[in-house]
Amino acid sequence: MKTLVDIPEKQIRSLSELCDKYNISRAEAIRRAIDLFIINNKKKPVDAFGAWKNKSDDGLSDGLNYQENLRDEW
Tens of pLDDT, residue by residue over 9-64, are: 999 999 999 999 999 999 999 999 999 999 888 877 656 666 656 666 555 566 77
Identify whether residues 15 and 36 lie together within a single domain: yes
Range(s) of the domain holding residue 49: 45-74
Q: In this predicted structure, what is the pLDDT of residue 37?
A: 94
Domain membership flag for residue 36: yes
Confidence at 66, pLDDT banded by 50, 70, 90: confident
Task: Determine the Cα–Cα distance for residues 35 and 57; give it in Å rounded to an integer.
Answer: 22
Q: Residues 6 or more apart from 24 whose CB is under 8 A from it? A: 32
Residue 70 pLDDT class (50, 70, 90 cuts)? confident
| Domain count along the chain | 2
Same domain, 36 and 53: no
Write down the pLDDT at residue 61: 60
Classify residue 1: in a domain, yes or no: no
**65 in a structural domain:** yes
For residues 7 and 47, the model is more confident at 7
Does 32 reside within a domain? yes
